[in-house]
Structure 1
């Protein structure tokens, strides 16, 4: 009969320290990743009392799920539940060797792409046998997700960025009109500073008040288009209907850009698959103002003509897209699935288009000679 410490193929350690956004490690002092943790002895004893071999459970996540199904006493007994959670987390680390433990403050096992709260997993195993097959399918796809993530990370580390070509005269934002909005209690809302660095209330994530505060973005979009038309060799088509203004900018070289403005937001499309929105999120929790949304809009719209847009698609077996935006001050990158509304033929057209670019970088628009 195997001792508990011998059930898993590695050293059993204590839990790692809690992960904190404010944590700091001196160079070379990064904590050792923990694959298997202690504290599962009570569950091992329970399994043996129930006539099950813990060694078989420790090597097979599907078998563990079958064993736990319907055993409500496991989650009704706090100490046993905690022990079962540690055992289940170790089994996850056996099934996916790249996964390690983290405290966030929940106990989780995962990688950079996926992380599983183990106490919640045990409850699902006990109460929801119908989730077993989808979970096993997720486990089967996890290695590929990690591989795709490494490929995306490698693209983000690519240092062969182009030199941006900005006009000599910088863009100046038009003066936005003063706006004053009040909450249900009659208090003035200071958008952009509502939470003073604290956490917004939970209900604000699903609440959108005063979306009309973003109406000045239409002015900003108009001014941006006029600035680009005066600075670059670009053909501009303007269409207006039903409170919406759409600008299509077709440069002599580089990525075509479409800017669609309403009284509540501005949408930007460029290149093959690039999409951006200002505001990025209009909910009360995110607390964007017209000025913060305009900051984002201007960063995007000014970076693309300067040659700061990179698109790589498809990446990995999941066929995700990788986007980099190189701005006058700093850079950013993102990755994920392309717009789900795009058809297969549109995606293949994007592949063909991007194949002709240098590592995915769209060339800068041609500056006008003043």
Structure 2
């Protein structure tokens, strides 16, 4: 297909899932990414009928928005609405050359950092025309978002490893957690951790948080971790009360990243190093279906990895000065990284963190030293 509106080449709309899972390795016979899709011509003809050159709209998303917002009849015809959505997606691909098409529940145009459902976007142009400037402003940062994402991906892919991983001879042992039983509104036992055998949670479960007290046994895990670390490593343990009145446990090693644990129900807060902050479990909604056991897995992995030397922090990274963190299990089998902007912090705290991390070896905090004679 050739066109005097978009530069092409053109391809069909990708099938559902064909481009949505970006981490899968490419298959030899798999279709390549589609930047411009066909099927937009009915809207191009509609624009011509309104005295507007579609080639002008193709390079101006704001003008395209104005035309669609000014003609709500676009939504009255399924054929025209579909063509308009494809036209709008192609406009976005033209102004943002890295964007390609994918199909999820509806057609989307985007990159790793942003994917825009075009059917919903066209409906929004008609129903919420006042959102035009906010949408265009959001897109203005897209290119920088992609650059930051590439930088973070490259950082995560680096062949960087801690200088040394130190684990005690006596392994940590999780305490026996009590078996708690919970019932739903009908009196039936709730089988947390096995509620969605097909892996698909109902939509309403994302807004429900039933029985958060099921995470109360995490306090036993916290006590066991503190006992293990203080017995095996050279670390000072302090129990303090924070400014918010919450009790917290500070683990200050002779060398390495300090850990502060604030136990609470339903979630335990873990702070470490200069800027690391984690909440375990991070979500207690029914859809996530977490249990005390799965949350304990995460809590133990974070704390034991940091003590063993598998903890990395880099800040500031890139033009936006984001924070990059990595937690690697002592056996090297689990490696999880995250990146993003810092929360609002006083300038002196940011400067302190920058100076502290500058002295690390490629961001890796050293392992805590072991006691010569375990306590």
Structure 1 position 300 matched with structure 2 position 315: no
Match of 1:135 in 2: 135
Distance, in Å, in 1 between the alignment partners of 2:318 and 2:369 is 33
Q: Distance in 1 between matches of 2:217 and 2:84?
A: 55
Query: C-alpha deviations, 1:292-322, integer Å up to 9, x for none?
Result: 1101000001000111111111222332211
Equivalent residue number for residue 334 of structure 1: 338
Following the alignment from structure 1 to structure 2, what is the Cα–Cα distance between the partners of residues 76 and 226? 67
Note the alpha carbon deviations across 1:342-367, whole angstroms, 9 max, x for none. 33332222122111111111111111
Cα contact 1:308–1:362 (8 A) shared by 2: yes
What RMSD, in angstroms, separates the aligned Cα atoms of the two structures? 2.0
Describe the superposition over 1:173-207 as per-residue Cα deviations: whole angstroms up to 9, x where unpaired.
Answer: 11111211111110111111111133112121111
User: Matches of 1:273 and 1:218 in 2, distance apart?
Assistant: 24
TM (norm. structure 2) is 0.93
Say whether the 8 Å CA contact 1:4–1:41 is kept in structure 2: no
Equivalent position of 2:8 in the other structure:
10
SS in 1 for 2:356: helix
> How far, CA to CA, are the matches of 1:74 and 1:19 in structure 2?
28
Gaps of 5+ in 1: none
Separation in 2, partners of 1:317, 1:130 = 31
- In structure 2, relative to structure 1, the CA distance for the partners of 1:203 and 1:325 (3 Å cut) is same
1:355 aligned residue (345, 353, 358):
358
- CA distance in structure 2 between the aligned counterparts of 1:80 and 1:115, rounded to whole angstroms: 22
CA distance in 2, matches of 1:228, 1:181: 33
Separation (CA, whole Å) in 2 of partners of 1:76 and 1:272: 56
The correspondence of residues 150-189 of structure 1 with structure 2, limited to 5 A, is 150-162=150-162, 163-189=164-190
Provide the residue aligned with 1:222 in structure 2: 223
Query: What is aligned with 1:114?
Result: 114
Aligned to 2:370: 367
SS in 1 for 2:141: helix
Q: What is the aligned partner in structure 2 of residue 271 from structure 1?
A: 273
Alpha-carbon offset, residue 243 of structure 1: 9.5
Q: What's 2:205 paired with?
A: 204
Q: Deviations over 1:246-268 (max 9, x none)?
A: 11011111111100102322110
Per mean C-alpha deviation after superposition, the further-off stretch among 40-49 and 160-169 is 160-169
- Number of corresponding residues: 367
Give the SS at the match of 1:6. coil
How does the TM-score come out when normalised to structure 1?
0.94
Q: Secondary structure at the match of 1:304?
A: helix
Alignment partners' CA distance in 1, 2:241 and 2:47: 69
User: Within 2, Cα distance between the matches of 1:27 and 1:82?
Assistant: 30
Runs of 4+ in 1 over 4 A off after TM superposition: 20-27, 240-244
